[in-house]
Amino acid sequence: MIFEKIEHIKQQLSELRAENEEALEALRIKYLSKKGEITALFNDFRTVPADQKRELGQKLNELKNLATDKINALKETFKAQEKEKNKIDITRPAFPAELGTRHPISVVRKQIIDIFSRLGFTLADGPEVEDDWHVFSALNFAADHPARDMQDTFFVERNQDDVTRNIVLRSHTSSVQVRTMERKQPPIRIICPGRVYRNEAITARAHCFFHQIEGLYIDKNVSFADLKQVLLNFAQELFGPDTQIRLRPSYFPFTEPSAEMDVSCMLCGGEGCGFCKHTGWVEILGCGMVDPAVLEASGIDSSIYSGYAFGLGVERITNLKYMVKDLRMFSENDARFLDEFKSAH
Ligand code: DAH
């Protein structure tokens, strides 16, 4: 009877399988624990006749060893599998590193700076909180000029009796023209990128702050033809070699003559479309010959020197290049908007 039981368990052990470590532990308990089937057989050992004890003892020990070996072997395979699972797979592709994007305004500002740098313009800078002199007076704005008005300008300090003592947030980068000319005699060839502020309601088409780039070239014998050539080159570099420009007479206090420049519509190439309101042209900047009064105000002899200036809005040009419909998007920090410029640089 007991020999049959041994054979039976042996048979079971030869087919021993376990799904997982818990199942294996259950098997160990089934056979080898204090109340296990093999342990029980050892207890039965006492009841067998003495002449069988020797053979039985041997068989029982063999059975116990078989069970122990089998269970240990299965345990080892589980351990090995676990190890395999935790192994680092060095052939796996790396997780993609998320790169940030440049802001579209920075992208376009850099493009514009690069174009003018190649033409010999260097960068100049000035403060955003400015005095009346650099924003208005030195640029030939009359004391009652509407641009000084509350409607347009943010005042940091406002003086009711004497507007020339006002402190303002600069409303254009033309102030850097004055700062540069005060510091340095010609030849001057600079561009000044910077942020400007205007007291306007924020809508899709207007914002209370935006970015401009100012250009200034002062030397002997600078003519309007020089200005036109530089601006044509700029437009073709920025919008493509087939781009045409046209200059329309305009008025700015600090230039004489003054002009506004249009470029041929980048969507229809000048044929006329909804974007250019069927004119074939879109306006991109203001420019002109620096008024002699402005040169004199900054300590430059207007009988020797002449020059041109121009000013453009970076948001406006960014809109033309990327068709951004709502100005507010530029300052809302919406990652989905910025993601669209991943390929721009
Ligand atoms: N400062 C002008 C503005 O903010 C832009 C401008 C026009 C700048 C003509 C210039 C210029 O230098 O010559 O609207």
288 CB within 6 A, ligand 1: yes
For the chain, the distance separating the N- and C-terminal CA atoms, rounded to the nearest angstrom, is: 88
Q: Which of 135, 196, 199 is nearest to 164 (CA)?
A: 135
306 CB within 6 A, ligand 1: no
| Shortest-distance Cα residue to atom 8 of ligand 1 | 311
291 CB within 6 A, ligand 1: no
Tokens of 124: 């100049």
Average pLDDT for the chain: 92
CA distance 54 to 174: 113
| Shortest-distance Cα residue to atom 5 of ligand 1 | 311
pLDDT at residue 279 in the model: 94
128 CB contacts (<8 Å, ≥6 apart)?
A: 169, 170, 194, 195, 196, 197
Mean pLDDT of 76-96: 86
pLDDT in tens, 113-157: 999 999 999 999 999 999 999 999 999 999 888 888 767 899 999
Residue 171 Cα to ligand 1 midpoint, Å, equals 10
42 CB contacts (<8 Å, ≥6 apart)?
A: 60, 64
Range picked from 50-59, 156-165, 270-279, 290-299 for highest mean pLDDT: 290-299
φ and ψ at residue 289, rounded to 5 degrees: -85, 130
β-strand partners of 291: none
Helix residue ranges per DSSP H, the chain: 2-14, 21-32, 37-44, 50-86, 104-118, 132-135, 174-183, 224-239, 292-297, 314-322, 335-339
pLDDT of 188 > 90? The answer is yes
Q: Which of 181, 215, 214 is nearest to 295 (CA)?
A: 181
pLDDT of 344 > 80? The answer is no
172 CB within 6 A, ligand 1: yes
pLDDT of 232 > 80? The answer is yes
311 CB within 6 A, ligand 1: yes
Tokens of 244: 């045409």
Atom of ligand 1 nearest to the CA of 212: 4
Atom of ligand 1 nearest to the CA of 215: 12
pLDDT at residue 345 in the model: 66
Residue 254 Cα to ligand 1 midpoint, Å, equals 8
pLDDT of 233 > 90? The answer is yes
Stronger pLDDT, 4 or 117, i.e. the higher one: 117
Helix residue ranges per DSSP H, 250-326: 292-297, 314-322
Burial 9-45 (b: 16+ CB within 10 A, else e): beeebeeeebeeeeebeebbeebeeeebbbeebeeee
Tokens of 330: 């530029």
Cβ–Cβ under 8 Å, residues 204 and 325 = yes
Atom of ligand 1 nearest to the CA of 196: 4
- 3-class state of residue 12 by DSSP: helix
pTM above 0.85, yes or no: no
- 3-class state of residue 229 by DSSP: helix
